[in-house]
Amino acid sequence: MSPSEPLRLTDRDAVLVNRFHFCAHGFEVCNLCECDARMANDQILQGTFDPEKLEKMSVQEMMDKMMKGMMEASNFEKELRAPLSIADLVLDTGELEYEDDGSVNYNVWACKPHSRKNCIACFDWRGLINAEQNKKNDSSQERERVLAQLRAMNVKLPAGTKLPLDELEKKLSVALSLVQDLSDRPVDPSKLRAWKGKEPLLDAFKKGNLAEAYANLQSQSEGRGPLSFPLYENAFVDLRQTVMHIANNYEKGQQCCTLQDNTQREAICIRVLGVHDLNGTPLISLVYGIDDGPSMTKVFEFNDAQRKAGAKGFARIHSTIEEQALFRRLLQVNAENIPSGLTAELKPEEQGFKASFIVPVAPLSQVQIGKLTTNLGCPICGKSANSRCAACHSISYCGPVCQKTHWKEHKAQCKRIRGGTWLEATFSENPIVNGQQKYAGVISHTANKMPKVRDSLGPPDNVHGDKAFLVKVQRPLMMWADGYLSMLVYDRNRTFQGNISKQENPKFWEAAMKQMPEGSSKVKIYRNARRTGDWTLSVCVDSEPSEIPQW
**Tell me, what's the pLDDT at 450?**
46
Do 128 and 60 share a structural domain? yes
CA–CA gap between residue 168 and residue 150 (Å, rounded): 9
Give the chain's length.
551
End position of a domain, from candidates 137, 168, 192: 137
Q: Is 263 part of a structural domain of the chain?
A: yes
Rounded to a whole number of angstroms, the CA Rg of the chain reads: 29
- Higher-pLDDT residue of 473 and 120 is 473
Does the residue 104 lie in any domain? yes
pLDDT of 446 above 50: no
Among 105, 137, 169, the domain-final residue is 137
Are 251 and 122 found together in one domain?
no
Please identify, among 343, 358, 373, the residue that sits at the C-terminal boundary of a domain: 358
313 shares a domain with 226 = yes
pLDDT at 230: 76
Q: How confident is the model at residue 489 (pLDDT cuts 50, 70, 90)?
A: very high
Residues 203 and 334 in one domain: yes
pLDDT (0 to 100) of residue 3:
46
Report how many domains make up the chain. Answer: 3
Which pLDDT score, from 0 to 100, does residue 259 have? 95
pLDDT of residue 1: 41
62 plus 187 within the same structural domain: no
433 in the same domain as 301: no
Structural domain includes residue 536: yes
pLDDT digits (tens, 9 = 90+) for 68-104: 555 555 544 445 788 899 988 999 998 887 766 666 5
Is 491 in contact with 518 (CB distance < 8 Å)?
Answer: no
* Claim to verify: residue 313 and residue 436 sit in the same structural domain: no
pLDDT for 7 equals: 84
* Residue 379 placed within a domain: no
Q: Are 164 and 382 in contact (CB under 8 A)?
A: yes
One domain, residues 85 and 212 = no
Mean pLDDT of the chain: 82
Would you say residue 84 lies in a domain?
A: yes
pLDDT digits 0-9 by tens, 171-216 = 999 999 999 998 767 899 989 999 998 899 999 999 876 666 656 6
**pLDDT classification of 551: cutoffs 50, 70, 90:** confident
Q: What angle do CA 380, 403, 138 make, to 5 degrees?
A: 10
pLDDT at 513 over 90: yes
SS3 assignment, position 41: helix
Lowest mean pLDDT among 34-38, 208-212, 530-534: 208-212
Same domain, 188 and 303: yes
The pTM of this model reads 0.67
Residue 285, in any domain of the structure = yes
Complete DSSP assignment for 178-222: HHTT--S-S--GGGSPBP--SS-HHHHT----HHHHHHHHHHHHT
Structural domain boundaries enclosing 222 = 180-358
Q: Are residues 431 and 519 in the same domain?
A: yes
What is the band of 51 on the pLDDT scale with cuts at 50, 70, 90?
low
State the DSSP code for 21: E
Residues 232 and 346 in one domain: yes
In a domain, 126, yes or no: yes
